Structure 1
Amino acid sequence: MSKTNPGRFFEDFTIGEVIEHATPRTVTEGDRALYGAIYPSRFAVPSSAEFAASVGLRPHPVEDLVAFHIAFGKTVPDISLNAVANLGYAELRFHEPVVPGDTLITRSEVIGLKQNSNGRSGVVYVRSTATNQRDEVVLDWCRWVMVHKRSESAPAPETVVPELASAVAAADLVIPTGLDFTSYDFAAAGEPHRLGDYEVGERIDHVDGVTLTDAEHMMATRLWQNTAKVHFNTEARPDGRRLVYGGHVISLARALSFNGLANAQLVAAINGGSHVAPAFAGDTVYAWSEVLDSAPTPARGVGALRLRLVATKGRDESMTLRTEEGKYADGVLLDLDYWALVPV
């Protein structure tokens, strides 16, 4: 009997099964420091304990995406160790700020399966939930991932494609307990812009770019204990290249968005996301955002801004998402739709 885990293949998944993922992970101040070392993030709430306390967040939370990466990483050995690519996200909500000392654990339920027409792979849909040591939900989300089949001759399962919401409703956003932006320090945050300063349809070029390196994306992926072979093993892909973890591109684009969206302090939800094209070391990533919607929240001085965050390979000053034919424009790496909490 083999004692090693080769990872699940497409035919190993069944609708309705619940997978308890191994290795609980305790968040430390080291995670905050390494996140800042890998990504050029300057948002005031995760950067400054004093700023966070001034808006009602004590103890000092880490970046929202730290929790996402850790929770996501737990799912990889059981869901996407044999992945071709992670394809997208939906219905992701952050429920509780994560602080150093919190221990996260993740479980997933298989909610959809669809074999690809080539018979060599299929798409697995899962709903994952991360909880802390108090059994409080920290975040939950759906994602779909393309996974290799072990055998092309294995019969295709019945196709089940779940219906997923196109967006998290503003009324369903979870606002951190105590969050209050009425005494918000705009000088410390770095920009003067409030919710009302952004118009639906407005596009913001975040200007700055960062060139990807193998060392940084592999360090990040190891930090989150993401063991997907394609990120580390040059023999895992026919082209012999290490595929950059899609979440690495998300965090990089989010960090770049500070220039123009410095007051988008907290990510409340991710409505949907697509990794449009693969990224590799040597690619230079830029980002731009489009304002999709805005909404009030029950919290004092806090509004919600719905944004499309687009990461591109190379600078796209025209900020073009799609061609006239409706296809993604050349160079688009990431199309992410999310809600952020901003001062009103």
Structure 2
Amino acid sequence: NGGNGGGVYFEVNFAPVIQIKIQDTTIHDCEAITNSSSTYPQSGFGGGIFLSGSNDYDQTTDTLDFSGMLISGNTAGRSGQSMYVAMTKVKEWCKKGTLGEFVKGNYNDETSDESELEGIPLSLAGFNSQSQSYISDNQRHLEYYWDSPRGQIWHILNKYLESLIGINKPGCAEFDNPCNTIAYAILQISIEKGSSADAIIPEKKIGIHQGGYDLTAPYQFSKSNSYTDCVKIMKQLYGTTSVMEDQAELKIIKGSSGSAVESGNQGWISAIEGIQLRIYGIKIVTDDTTLLIPIIYIEGETSVLELNTVTLTGIDYISPSNPDDPNPERFIRGLIHIDVDDSIFIASGCLFKDINIDSGGNTIRIH
């Protein structure tokens, strides 16, 4: 095998109906050694397993099931410390089932080194005929294929960062191919994960690109129009090993003190119908105009608001009020306002500074 597959070497013709199933099998302390001999065009791939062959794998069958694979301590001279896959439909295999379940065995998306499982969409003949530089440039961690977009995050960017700006088009999501608006990203998650615009997806993740995002009009999340129970707004690649270092900036653009953009809205970001809103690693600022509605407004029974490492800074706010009402306090709104009793509010690692509030409001108000 020329130094590929230190533990197991599979060379498969995928045209006939075959089945390879790994159950409760441990592959550990195996090594694929790089062989400089010209007899072997490629070597040092797949410390534990090397899988390749001819013809196309059919993802509609149960041909390959590595769910029972247990890997540890394997090494490879080049790539795929525990497994390397060279087959034309490697991406399709990784996407079969849920998050690579038929590929990764005991590989853990959160804690395992991504170099454990790697591959390239080439047949064995194509793999052996390519240069090492081509393989290095075109191979991927297998997690890249099943966790696409990375972290299941749809990124948004609506202002130029150097030459990059988000574009609303099918396939936008990755930080280097972001969407342009929140609404489009919310829609695309249902289409791409549920195959229809109104497919209900339990959780939707919206990533604020490191270039920032300008919120030019209030936006409302609800179970009925967002088709989810939970929206998470987070900084670029949050929860992955490539997460951006600083907070991502969300800037509220009111435009002018006379702007009517807030009229008829309960908050710049509002969540109703009991939808969960969770925000991670975001810095919220304004264009220095005075706000007349809350930045975040939550309404609905069993609602959840979580703020994790969120900063609000440099904000001027005048709370809505009605001095002629017998109970004027019921109109007062906090800059962050939760208008329900049966709710959960979680805040950790947050910073609120340089906030000026008039008309009796608060930074946080649960009413």
- Common fold: TM-score over 0.5: no
Q: Which has the higher helix share?
A: 1
TM-score by length of 2: 0.23
TM-score by length of 1: 0.24
Q: Which of the pair has the greater relative contact order for Cα pairs under 8 Å at 6+ separation?
A: 1
